[in-house]
Amino acid sequence: MTVSVVQVHSPVSAVVVGRLGHLSLNRPDSINAIDLEMMHAMTETLDAWATDDAVDAVLLDGVGDYGFCAGGDFREILARAAEGMTIGTVFFRDEYRLIAKLAEYPKPVVSIMHGMTMGGGISLAGHASVRVVTDQVRLGQPETGYGFVPDGGATWRLARTPGEIGTYLALNSIDLTAADAVALGFADVIVPSERIGELTAALGDAASPEETVRRFATEAGPSPVLARRDWIDACYSADTVRDILERLWAFANGDEVEGLRAPDSADPDAAANAADAADTLLRLSPTALVATLRSVRAARDGESLRDALERELRLARWFTTQPDLFTGVQALVAQNTDSLHQASVPDWKPADLDDVDLIDIVAAMEMPLRHSVFPRGLGIPEEGADAE
């Protein structure tokens, strides 16, 4: 087997093994949180491999035991957003271009998600042609917990889960197991953690990456989240976050919601789980919740991934001007935790759902940007094109 080193440096390593381009996120001390340097290094490497006849396929994974990727680098997002709306948009625009590049790559891309895989990490790996999760993976869209919205193509993916599960996941920042990931379309197969090394070695000589991956796959088993679908569909099909909350409270108190009562649910803990879901919503950013519901619902209306990325960029740009993004990220960094669910509630502004201005959110989603993800509609631009 031939091994050639393209680049090995922090924060990304790239090595060609046999006919496989092996691209690894390499910031294990920060659980491979994505920053601009990583995005640009990955983009440069993928561009080179796309036309390299010596590379037949790409493997994307992350270095370290803790996880594939904890999402966007919060500190960099906060610093760039503080510099102003236009500068803050660069981070998201370049991230979305990289995600689109992976989704549309001309060669097979195998992604391996292990351990913590959150937000932008799911977006990087979740649009690959073959998506692997290990039995130890933990996936989630935590954005509403830090005053933001699911992005990087997340709304497009969430809108295509069964029933209202995507709405539930997006609003409540729910963590997913490996079985959930496969059942809900976030991944294709589960490979046991102890066999990932074997899989990686086998892919170096594989003629068909997909067939090779499936040789290592194990049964997914039942999905805990999918088992809650009946009451999730009943409660989260409401048109507003306020109405969703009222349905959750009613259902938890024994009332019938959309023809369903808790004792008749397939989920034996339906009432308690609905009550917990309502309690969680009360802790999260009202602005982020209202915007997230609107964004996920918009992604159902025949959008392509590219359409979703453009809309998400417009909304992300607007959020760089909103206080909740700064408040939420600062709280998350200060607490040195990956979840706000057990922390004190940040000082969201506004603090009440009824005070959120939906008109501003809709306007932000629809306002064209001078610097979009896909300028001129001519495909993914080369690095440095259409710079801010």
Structural domains for the chain: 3-140+185-215 (3.90.226.10), 226-374 (3.90.226.10)
Asked whether 70 and 116 are in contact (CB, 8 A), the reply is: yes
Cα separation, 115 vs 137, in Å, equals 4
Which strands make up the sheet holding 130-134, listed edge to edge? Answer: 3-9, 12-17, 20-25, 57-62, 109-113, 130-134, 189-191
Q: Beta strands 109-113 and 138-140: pairing type?
A: unpaired
Q: Beta strands 189-191 and 20-25: pairing type?
A: unpaired
Cα separation, 199 vs 111, in Å, equals 12
Q: Residue 282 phi/psi, 5° resolution? A: -70, -15
pLDDT of residue 331: 84
Asked whether 298 and 311 are in contact (CB, 8 A), the reply is: yes
Buried-state track 353-362, b at ≥16 Cβ within 10 A, e below 16: beebeeeebe
pLDDT of residue 386: 41
Which strands make up the sheet holding 175-176, listed edge to edge? Answer: 116-118, 138-140, 175-176
Which ranges of the chain does DSSP label H, i.e. alpha helix? 36-50, 74-82, 85-103, 120-125, 154-158, 165-172, 178-183, 196-203, 209-215, 229-236, 241-252, 270-281, 286-298, 305-319, 323-335, 358-366
Residue with tokens 């649009």: 127
Q: For residue 33, what is the DSSP state? A: -
Residue with tokens 């869209």: 141
Asked whether 26 and 84 are in contact (CB, 8 A), the reply is: no
Global pTM exceeds 0.85: yes
Cα separation, 155 vs 233, in Å, equals 17
3-state secondary structure of 289: helix
pLDDT of residue 244: 98
Per-residue pLDDT of the chain (388 residues; tens, 9 = 90+): 555 555 555 699 999 999 999 999 999 999 999 999 999 999 999 999 999 999 999 999 999 999 999 998 877 777 776 676 566 688 899 999 999 999 999 999 999 999 999 999 999 999 999 999 999 999 999 999 999 999 999 999 999 999 999 999 999 999 999 999 999 999 999 999 999 999 999 998 878 999 999 999 999 999 999 999 999 999 999 999 999 999 999 999 999 999 999 999 999 999 999 999 999 999 999 999 999 999 999 999 878 999 999 999 999 999 988 999 989 988 887 775 444 445 578 999 999 999 999 999 999 999 988 888 997 643 444 333 343 3
